[in-house]
């Protein structure tokens, strides 16, 4: 079944009685009981299917998890309260029975770096960063570190590098490590990390999947090996997404492939326009034929789908206040710290996503003070371009 059809139908149409609801209802109960205690006992013992307590499972969440897993052709998923919570659960599941060492891409979302260094690091997990696009460097680091987990983003935030998931997965498996991939920027429309050899795929549901700026949520998508571990962590830690948010996420996903296709087209046109603008110093976009990872992009991404994020450097702007003034002139594009919404958003990494890394660390990562990131929406691309033109 095509992903466009799965997005509309998967997870829905459960039959609770003689009637069948056309969409999954919102189940708000925290506790469930049965006609007999014996029946409840068998549910607790997992001898028969059923609900007992919403920290363990909830029918609305279960429907969303079935839907998200189907989008990536994976065995199962867990819906979490945020993308960062999903990443924490994924890393814990990867490290539970392995050496407490993470080999991570050196180009990551700022909060992911903080999670690794300040949270996992504080609990004794060793963390080493490597250029995930340099396979020889990854092999060498994996040989030295013998990591329990390798972590990367499909498309890095915010400079849009693209690592070869299939080859990194081979390196991970050769050393008994679990490969965790944050697939938020690429989405299941473009990439299925588990099919490429990853063990766990992570999404911020807040972004392209829900897509309307009204849901905070995340998802952990697992292979068969790690699904029981993730479910047990859910029961123990309680990272659950609320059922109302699960319902809204399902509603958003129904139009996700259609939205994402348009956003990718708009991003390609915007990137082509920005390249020619005299006030733009450099454009970062995976669809650029001169992109440093173009070979991986052409092999891993579907034709003409390169994601919907475009980053660019503003020529001649050397101070944050100058960037602020440019942003304040925007009239259509929203100045907000997110991405993947139906409306276009512009973010300043030095102020938001990578603020806590500090000036020198950002520069080491290639994130200059004049870099901005656009999450391209579904508006008419001519209007997006016109807004940037007048602001520039």
Residue by residue, pLDDT tens for the chain (392 residues) are: 999 999 999 999 887 778 889 899 999 999 999 999 999 989 888 899 898 999 999 999 999 999 999 999 999 999 999 999 999 999 999 999 999 999 999 999 999 999 999 999 999 999 999 999 999 999 999 999 999 999 999 999 999 999 999 999 999 999 999 999 999 999 999 999 999 999 999 999 999 999 999 999 999 999 999 999 999 999 999 999 999 999 999 999 999 999 999 999 999 999 999 999 999 999 999 999 999 999 999 999 999 999 999 999 999 988 889 999 999 999 999 998 899 999 999 998 877 667 767 777 777 777 888 999 999 999 999 999 999 999 99
DSSP-derived 3-state class of residue 96: coil
Alpha-carbon distances of 35 from 27, 52, 57, 221, 351, rounded to whole Å? 19, 13, 20, 34, 56
Q: Residue holding tokens 């001649």?
A: 316
Strand order across the 345-347 sheet: 280-284, 309-314, 371-375, 345-347, 334-335
Q: Supply the residues annotated as catalytic.
A: 55, 109, 182, 207
Neighbours of 137 (CB within 10 A): 13
For residue 104, give the H/E element and its range: strand 101-105
* Pairing relationship of beta strands 149-153 and 101-105 according to DSSP bridges: parallel
- CA dist 310 and 271 (Å) reads 6
- Say if residues 151 and 91 touch (Cβ distance below 8 Å): yes
- CA dist 210 and 216 (Å) reads 9
Residue 366: the pLDDT is 79
* Pairing relationship of beta strands 309-314 and 334-335 according to DSSP bridges: unpaired
- CA dist 167 and 59 (Å) reads 37
Residue 203: the pLDDT is 98
- CA dist 164 and 297 (Å) reads 8
Return the sign of the alpha-carbon dihedral for residues 81, 82, 86, 91.
Answer: negative
All structural domains of the chain, each given as residue ranges with its CATH number in brackets, are 3-253 (3.40.640.10), 256-391 (3.90.1150.10)
- CA dist 195 and 96 (Å) reads 23
In the chain, the N- to C-terminal Cα span, in Å, equals 45
- CA dist 167 and 340 (Å) reads 28
pTM here? Answer: 0.95
DSSP annotation of 123: G
The closest alpha carbon to 54, from 28, 36, 25, 23, belongs to 28
Q: Give Rg (Cα) of the chain.
A: 21
- Say if residues 199 and 222 touch (Cβ distance below 8 Å): yes
**Which tokens go with 119?**
């949270």
DSSP-derived 3-state class of residue 353: coil
């Amino acid at each position: 079944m095509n992903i466009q059809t799965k997005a509309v139908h998967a997870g829905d149409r459960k039959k609770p009685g003689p009637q069948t609801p056309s969409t999954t209802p919102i189940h708000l109960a925290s506790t469930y009981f049965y006609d007999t205690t014996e029946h409840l006992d068998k549910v607790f013992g997992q001898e028969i299917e059923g609900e007992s307590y919403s920290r363990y499972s909830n029918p609305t969440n279960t429907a969303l998890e079935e839907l998200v897993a189907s989008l990536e052709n994976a065995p199962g998923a867990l819906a979490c309260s945020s993308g960062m919570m999903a990443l924490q659960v994924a890393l814990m599941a990867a490290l539970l029975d392995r050496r407490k060492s993470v080999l991570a891409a050196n180009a990551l979302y700022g909060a992911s770096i903080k999670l690794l260094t300040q949270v996992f690091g504080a609990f004794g997990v060793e963390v080493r960063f490597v250029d995930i696009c340099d396979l020889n460097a990854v092999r060498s680091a994996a040989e030295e570190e013998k990591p329990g987990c390798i972590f990367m983003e499909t498309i890095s935030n915010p400079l849009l590098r693209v690592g070869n998931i299939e080859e990194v997965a081979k390196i991970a498996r050769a050393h008994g490590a679990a490969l965790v991939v944050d697939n938020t920027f690429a989405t299941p429309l473009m990439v299925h990390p588990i099919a490429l050899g990853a063990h766990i795929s992570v999404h911020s549901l807040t972004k392209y999947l829900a897509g309307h700026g009204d849901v905070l949520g995340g998802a952990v998508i697992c292979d068969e090996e790690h699904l029981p571990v993730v479910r047990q962590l859910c029961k123990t830690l309680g990272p659950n997404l609320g059922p109302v948010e699960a319902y809204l996420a399902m509603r958003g996903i129904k139009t996700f492939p259609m939205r994402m296709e348009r956003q990718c087209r708009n991003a390609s046109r915007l990137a082509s326009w920005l390249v020619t603008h005299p006030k733009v110093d450099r454009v970062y976009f995976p669809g650029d034929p001169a992109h440093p990872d173009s070979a991986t992009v052409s092999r891993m991404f579907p034709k003409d789908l390169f994601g919907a994020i475009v980053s660019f450097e503003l020529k001649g702007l050397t101070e944050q206040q100058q960037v602020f003034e440019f942003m304040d002139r925007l009239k259509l594009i929203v100045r907000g710290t997110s991405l993947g919404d139906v409306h276009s958003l512009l973010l300043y990494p030095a102020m938001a996503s990578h603020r806590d890394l500090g000036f020198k660390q950002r520069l080491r990562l290639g994130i200059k003070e004049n870099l901005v990131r656009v999450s391209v929406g579904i508006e008419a691309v001519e209007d997006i371009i016109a807004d940037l033109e007048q602001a520039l």
